[in-house]
Amino acid sequence: MVKVAFVGCGGIQNEHYKHLCAMDDVRLVGHCDVEKARAEAAAEKYGGDVFTDYKALYDKTKPDAVYVSVPPFAHVGMEEEAAGRGIHLFVEKPVATELATAKRIAEAIRKSEIIVSVGYCFRYYDTVSQARQILKGKCPSLIHGAWNGGMPEVWWWRRMDKSGGQVVEQTTHIFDLVRYLCGEVAEVYAVASTGCQNHVESFSIHDSSVVSLRLKCGGIACITSSCVANHSAQVGVEIVTPDMTLSIAWGKLTMKEDSKVTEFTSKVNIYEEESKVFIEAVKTGKRNKIRSSYTDALKTFMVTHAANESIRSGLPVKP
Ligand SMILES: NC(=O)c1ccc[n+]([C@@H]2O[C@H](COP(=O)([O-])OP(=O)(O)OC[C@H]3O[C@@H](n4cnc5c(N)ncnc54)[C@H](O)[C@@H]3O)[C@@H](O)[C@H]2O)c1
């Protein structure tokens, strides 16, 4: 039986609860949130004890694994304390808002050798695996990615110091897909706009941004983000190679070759998949099926962090 505890009992944790409580070999032992009522609500629904301090959660419930689903600014020691106790970690993306924090956590994890999975859930689509297979050995020439939509309701999202902005918090999924499918990023150059959301209280992130990436394989990418596009959401990646164009949008993969168009639809629930793989890794000690380690997620964070730096300085930045 794998004993699992939770730090942060908000929106996405509710998705994780759903899948974990359906697994026969998992027991939910405790819930910690700075808003006690959220931990209480989770405990009432799924069982386990209530905490407002993660160290007390770790010491009293002695979990095998912890799901950390706090906002980006709130990675204030829960990973390092878990690593120090040998507790395995599932950590929601993005890994932090500050590079120094992310690097410090990565070092604690490296020393501890615990198993860590970061919630880059798009990697668990069967259609993304298929795209990865198709792209093996090919040279992507041009990539266009986008996360253009509205603004999530959580209060911290619209504050640069709390979320890191849309590129770091949300479009990170798209940057991560580009790395996963097309390889590492050599250089980042970005511009952003502001001014359309002045009526929104405490709004301090960019309205929209365009990030250019030069990839190590020689290809280039343009990734756009917007949170003013309530009316026309567009989320996905298009990859152009000399033989084909692949489009990935949520669970759909479309392959366009000369006169042929082939479509694939995902058959999996990505949140269920990522938890199944993580729990199996905790049980067996084998981490090879985990698709996003902390070290890998840190690289995606560094690309998005470089985009913010480039927006600030007006210069290209190497991540
Ligand atoms: N992978 C995905 O598809 C996906 C989807 C949504 C959110 N997320 C990520 O999950 C994280 C959380 O997002 P959310 O939408 O669930 O936010 P949320 O605000 O709904 O929930 C976060 C919870 O963490 C709690 N919290 C804050 N600081 C804490 C601390 N120090 N100790 C304990 N609890 C603390 C808050 O009180 C809140 O209940 C973010 O990093 C977000 O990017 C991932």
Find the CATH number of the domain harbouring 259.
3.30.360.10
Ligand 1 centroid to Cα of residue 169, in Å, is: 11
Question: Is residue 28 in contact with ligand 1, taking CB distance under 6 Å?
Answer: no
* Residue 193: domain span: 123-267+301-313
SS3 142: strand
Q: What is the pLDDT of residue 285?
A: 97
In whole angstroms, how far apart are CA 188 and each of 94, 139, 154, 198, 257? 18, 19, 28, 28, 30
Q: 107 and 26, same structural domain? A: yes
- Integer Cα distance of 139 and 154 in angstroms: 39
pLDDT attached to residue 308: 98
Secondary structure string (H, E, C) spanning 195-230: CCCCCCCCCCCCCEEEEEEEECCCCEEEEEEECCCC
Is 307 within a domain?
A: yes
Q: What is the CATH number of the domain that holds 69?
A: 3.40.50.720
The answer to whether residues 306 and 170 belong to one domain is yes
> Encoding tokens for residue 99?
């590079």
The predicted pLDDT at position 253 comes to 98
Question: Is the distance from the beta carbon of residue 76 to the nearest atom of ligand 1 less than 6 Å?
Answer: yes
Mean pLDDT by 10 residues, the chain (319 residues): 98 97 97 98 98 98 98 98 98 98 98 97 98 94 97 96 98 98 98 94 96 97 96 94 96 96 98 98 98 98 98 98
Radius of gyration of the chain (CA): 20
Handedness of CA 97, 176, 308, 153 (dihedral sign): negative
- Give the C-alpha separation, 224 to 206, whole Å: 12
Return the pLDDT at 230: 86
Same domain, 165 and 306: yes
Residue 6 CA to ligand 1 centre (angstroms)? 11
Q: Is the CB of 235 under 6 A from ligand 1?
A: no
34 in ligand 1 pocket by Cβ < 6 Å? yes
Peptide bond connecting 94 to the previous residue in cis, omega within 30 degrees of 0? yes
Please name the residues in contact with 277: beta carbons below 8 A apart, sequence gap of 6 or more: 117, 124, 289, 290, 291
Longest dimension (CA), the chain: 62
Q: How many CB atoms are located within 10 Å of the residue 313 CB?
A: 10
Quick one: pLDDT at residue 319?
97
Distance (Å) from CA 177 to ligand 1 centroid: 21
Closest residue to atom 6 of ligand 1, CA basis: 12
CA-proximal residue: ligand 1, atom 28 (nearest): 74
Does the beta carbon of 69 lie inside 6 Å of ligand 1?
yes
Distance 8 CA to ligand 1 centre (A): 6
Q: Which atom of ligand 1 is nearest to the CA of 119?
A: 1
* Dist. CA 123 → ligand 1 center (Å): 20
Q: What is the pLDDT of residue 184?
A: 97
Task: State whether 162 and 244 are in the same domain.
Answer: yes
CA of 92 to the centre of ligand 1 (A): 8
Same domain, yes or no, for 213 and 276? no
- Cα–Cα distance for residue pair 108/114, rounded to 1 Å: 10
pLDDT recorded at residue 225: 98
Q: Is the pTM of this model over 0.95?
A: yes
β-pair partners for 6: 31, 67
